[in-house]
Amino acid sequence: MSNKLVLVLNCGSSSLKFAVINPITGHKMINGLAECFNLPDARIKWSVSEKKQAMPLPANSAHCAAILYIVQEIINTKQGLSDQFIAVGHRVVHGGEKFTQSVIIDETVIESIENCTSLAPLHNPAALLGIKAAQTAFPTLSQIAVFDTAFHQTIPAEAFMYALPQSLYKEHAVRRYGMHGTSHLFVTREAAKLLNKPIEETNVITAHLGNGGSVTAVKNGKSVDTSMGMTPLAGIVMGTRCGDIDAGIIEYLISRCGYSLEGVMDLLQKQSGLLGLSGISSDCREIEEASDAGHEGATLALRIFSYRLAKYIAGYSVPLGRIDAIVFTGGIGENSDHIRRCTLEMLSIFGYKVDKEKNCATRFGKSGVITAQDSPIAMVIATNEEWVIAQDCAELVVK
Ligand code: ADP
């Protein structure tokens, strides 16, 4: 088993992350990103054993062309590599209520993923393209679907129901599903190890803060509430997404401000969040630099980001009762000592005290506790969603 590898594909709407990973050690033999799909400057970059390479893809390339390139130009050029593959693991954003765990893909699974497309119209079709291309490239290998929503299927009705007529849930599946499940699961497992507790007895609040972001309350190792909703638009402030807003704003923008519904959705998904607030960028690093240079919009954006995050974390004391640790992960969570410090300062009512040195030193892939000795624990854990996908694949094909 030690020489067995999994090809992990994570197809977004305009990009594709891929990795060749050992499911036991988590070592990534190949790691890469194809991006700018359907644009003239479509391109691919990857690293093999830390050695970085990049190539343009033919103009307007998308998922199929990228997968073909990955197979023919990256994988097949390493002799014997594909012989070690035991499965291809696919990240699928939305599994609705149908999927509570990862599954081997067959025609019925494909149909069910298609049926969930209305819940993730940008993401599920991309995953299906990836599945079909991988089936063609590796016709004899098991293809496994790993769902972003699966970890959250333990959330109870009091947390997943909206206060809308129940018929909308029963007839149209309108409810909270949550996303980033593989990341929340991974960092929960790692946090339990760091806390030296069995996962079944671990209560943590996990904050996955990337371009998209979500916070999850994990009780006894299971998700009991999460900030994203039926779609990834809800919850905390994100790179370009607004997070929670008053639903009445939508009606106001359409009836009073001349927006079409499409225009409103574009505004809420692509022009809001850190980008909309700062007016300069959706990228936390750039906003921090601008804030340091005195840009008021950037400073306000960072403050609102931390405030909304802190409110979610505080709110999750309700389902958890006891909080063993707050866990920061994702690009911002792993790297922004500024956001972590501001957020924990806003939670001082719970007794959180940041250890400045540890907080500043825990960046760039390092994991560890960032709070003082006499404080409740907050920690940083570098996420590894690909590893969770590879582990699930290995488990399913060995069964
Ligand atoms: P994605 O959701 O696309 O996977 P990532 O998890 O890579 O996103 O997170 C991207 C975010 O992480 C960006 O806002 C980026 O600015 C932020 N980030 C990365 N490195 C740093 C850093 N050193 N300091 C602050 N923010 C950072």
Kindly write down the DSSP assignment for every residue of 199-264, as one continuous string.
Answer: GGG--EEEEEESSSEEEEEEETTEEEEES--SSTTSSS--SS---S--THHHHHHHHHS---HHHH
Query: Would you say residue 1 has pLDDT above 60?
Result: no
pLDDT digits (tens, 9 = 90+) for 34-49: 999 999 999 999 999 8
Q: Mean pLDDT for the chain?
A: 95
Query: Would you say residue 2 has pLDDT above 70?
Result: no
pLDDT-derived band at 78 (thresholds 50, 70, 90) equals confident
**What pLDDT sits at residue 3?**
62
Residues 119, 174, 264, 273, CA torsion sign: negative
CA–CA separation, 156 and 224 (whole Å): 6
State whether the beta carbon of 288 lies less than 6 angstroms from ligand 1. Answer: yes
State whether the beta carbon of 284 lies less than 6 angstroms from ligand 1. Answer: yes
Q: Which domains does the chain have, with CATH numbers?
A: 5-147 (3.30.420.40), 196-385 (3.30.420.40)
**What pLDDT sits at residue 122?**
81
CA–CA separation, 307 and 398 (whole Å): 45
147 strand-pairing partners = 92
Catalytic residues: 148
pLDDT digits (tens, 9 = 90+) for 121-176: 888 999 999 999 999 999 999 999 999 999 999 999 999 999 999 999 999 999 99
Tell me if 144 sits within 8 A of 104, measured CB to CB.
Answer: yes
State whether the beta carbon of 210 lies less than 6 angstroms from ligand 1. Answer: yes
CB atoms closer than 10 angstroms to residue 345:
13
Residue-by-residue DSSP string for 128-165: HHHHHHHHHH-TTSEEEEEETTGGGGG--HHHH--SS-
CA–CA separation, 297 and 282 (whole Å): 12
pLDDT digits (tens, 9 = 90+) for 88-104: 999 999 999 999 999 99
Helices (H) and strands (E) in the chain, counts: 16, 14
CA–CA separation, 19 and 293 (whole Å): 38
CA nearest to 189, candidates 397, 383, 396? 383
**Ligand 1 pocket: which of 285, 287, 342, 385 to mutate (most atoms within 8 A of CB):** 285
Q: What is the dihedral of CA 228, 233, 237, 240, to 10 degrees?
A: 150
**Ligand 1 pocket: which of 91, 281, 334, 335 to mutate (most atoms within 8 A of CB):** 335
Distance 120 CA to ligand 1 centre (A): 23
Distance 245 CA to ligand 1 centre (A): 23
CA–CA separation, 71 and 286 (whole Å): 35
